[in-house]
């Protein structure tokens, strides 16, 4: 019998968006961004990387510009991108959601555009400055980090990315204010010393690991960028920690109910974490 967590993890696979629609919308966005000095856009996030969560994940792009065009503050770059995209009748709304500008069309898929200023190359991978907390620039190496996560996923029988999607599903359902990038990289780093993945063990293990670290900024496992922050503010860090502690309590109660064979109580606690879409066990 397949465990409900494994069933749920399998259900979180996001179908690829219609490439014709994406290409048409990318052409519109790219044309408008010429006024903001952008000369290249590329997919950089969870949709192309395989860690997107249905309903919640947009198509993520970096809008690449040379370093000599970088303003002093990220808010200036984000404002320029927002203002460049506002005139289009194809776009329903545009708003800043640092480190990106969220572009909502009249129907999915929606885009997130992160202004990125080319900083250099490390080990053959491009490195960029993007918006960070406190209106500061931070380094980002999306290709290198995506490859790092994929390596663990391949080594562990394609189970690392589903574990990331489970943690993201918890984040989105509960509103935990934690960075998706932090979740991905901290999960991959944890799994780098593991021989296998068992979702019922590794979901609580990851939560405990992050709680024990108090969501402190983590070292880049590849040593390319500066320390990677979990949250955008101290207030969000404390809120995310509270949410993780509540999640561990729910998982412990669900485990007790599973041991007792009480499917209803088990499902109730898991639905608290992941929503009503969590599958009811057939015990």
Is the bond leading into 99 cis (omega within 30 degrees of zero)? yes
Q: For residues 51 and 14, give the distance between their C-alpha atoms in angstroms, rounded to a whole number.
A: 8
Residue in 188, 204, 175, 158 with CA at minimum distance from that of residue 56: 175
pLDDT at 121: 92
Q: How far is CA 167 from CA 86, 115, 125, 182, 276, in A?
A: 33, 26, 27, 11, 16
HSE-up of 192 (CA within 13 Å, CB side)? Answer: 13
**191 close to 163: Cβ distance less than 8 angstroms:** yes
Q: For residues 78 and 73, give the distance between their C-alpha atoms in angstroms, rounded to a whole number.
A: 9
Which pTM was predicted?
A: 0.89
Length of the chain measured in residues: 283
pLDDT at 249: 97
Domains and CATH numbers, the chain: 4-274 (3.30.460.10)
Q: pLDDT tens for the chain, 283 residues: list them.
A: 789 999 999 998 866 666 788 888 888 888 888 776 776 788 776 666 667 676 666 788 888 887 788 899 999 999 988 988 887 788 889 999 888 899 999 888 889 899 999 999 998 899 999 998 888 999 999 999 999 999 999 999 999 999 999 999 999 999 999 998 999 999 999 999 999 999 999 999 999 999 999 999 999 999 999 899 999 899 999 999 999 999 999 999 999 999 999 999 999 999 999 999 999 998 8
- Residue 160 tokens read as 């690392």
Neighbouring-strand partners of residue 131 = 137
- Residue 187 tokens read as 């999960």
Beta strands at 91-97 and 59-66: parallel, antiparallel or unpaired: unpaired
């Amino acid at each position: 019998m397949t465990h409900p967590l494994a069933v749920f993890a399998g259900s979180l696979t996001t179908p690829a968006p219609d490439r014709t629609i994406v290409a048409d919308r990318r052409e519109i966005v790219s044309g408008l961004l010429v006024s903001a000095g952008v000369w290249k856009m590329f997919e950089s996030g969870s949709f192309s990387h395989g860690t997107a969560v249905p309903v919640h994940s947009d198509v993520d792009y970096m809008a690449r510009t040379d370093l000599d065009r970088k303003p002093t503050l990220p808010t200036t770059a984000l404002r320029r991108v927002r203002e460049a995209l506002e005139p289009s009748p194809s776009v329903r709304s545009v708003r800043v959601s640092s480190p990106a500008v969220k572009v909502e069309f009249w129907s999915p898929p929606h885009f997130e555009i992160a202004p990125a200023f080319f900083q250099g190359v490390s080990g053959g991978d491009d490195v960029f400055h993007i918006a960070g907390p406190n209106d500061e620039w931070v380094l980002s190496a999306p290709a290198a980090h995506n490859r790092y996560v994929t390596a663990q996923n391949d080594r562990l029988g394609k189970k690392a990315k589903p574990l990331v999607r489970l943690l993201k599903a918890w984040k989105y359902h509960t509103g935990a204010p934690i960075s998706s990038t932090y979740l991905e990289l901290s999960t991959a780093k944890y799994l780098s010393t593991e021989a296998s993945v068992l979702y019922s063990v590794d979901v609580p293990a990851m939560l405990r690991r992050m709680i024990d670290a108090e969501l402190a900024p983590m070292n880049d496992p590849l040593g390319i960028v500066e320390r990677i922050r979990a949250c955008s503010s101290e207030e969000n860090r404390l809120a995310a920690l509270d949410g993780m502690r509540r999640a561990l309590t729910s998982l412990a109660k669900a485990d007790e109910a599973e041991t007792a064979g009480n499917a209803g109580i088990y499902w109730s606690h898991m639905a608290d974490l992941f929503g009503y879409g969590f599958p009811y066990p057939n015990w």
